[in-house]
A and B are shown apart, each in its own frame.
Chain A
């Protein structure tokens, strides 16, 4: 059974702080690693889909790195703002079944205080 772990489970930071969270996934049979942001009362929204070892992606103040050999990805938020408050999910495609099945971590809930 594939398992995706995220840490920490929750995080409270002050506006302006930089923060990062971790996603751990099986290092074998790697296809891709997805990051989603899920704001309250909205739909989960894709941030990044990462496919190559050493990949680094950036969207504004948010960036992510990928290490497929050791099975982890980091998500960084520079200078957190209250609008960054959300649950951040990583997901690992279940490639063994050759379908679109995504296995999600439990998420990291970020609260940014003004």
Chain B
């Protein structure tokens, strides 16, 4: 069974540009969540999608957006990149709610903004 796949693994962008990250969940998983990790910070919740609907959004500016497709694959987009957006972005999938079931994480996309 394939795990959660995130592409690309590494990305370097310039301030002001935009970026799109992709996440393919485990087959059959309908919930996809995104997290950001910056140096010295724990994993910060960005948003969660379930059956193509965003169910919750973390405390991030509107430059951060996402979507989920009918096959449960998800993308997240960051527009007008800032230096502070440099981080590891992780996505996680689960069968339904993650409350009682474990989340399965991808290896992440390391974004560097210069």
Contacts and interface: CB of A to CB of B under 8 A. Distances in A.
A11 interface: no
**Interface size class, chain B:** 20 to 34
Contact of A100 (B4, B33, B41, B42): B33
B31 A100 contact: yes
Contacts of A102: 33, 35, 43, 45, 92, 98, 103
Interface string B90-103: 10101011111111
A100 B98 contact: yes
Contacts of B63: none
A59 to B, nearest CB: 12
B50 A100 contact: yes
Contacts of A43: 3-4, 90, 104-108
Residue of B56, B96, B102 most packed against chain A (CB within 10 A): B102
Interface stretch (A64-72, A78-86, A104-112): A104-112
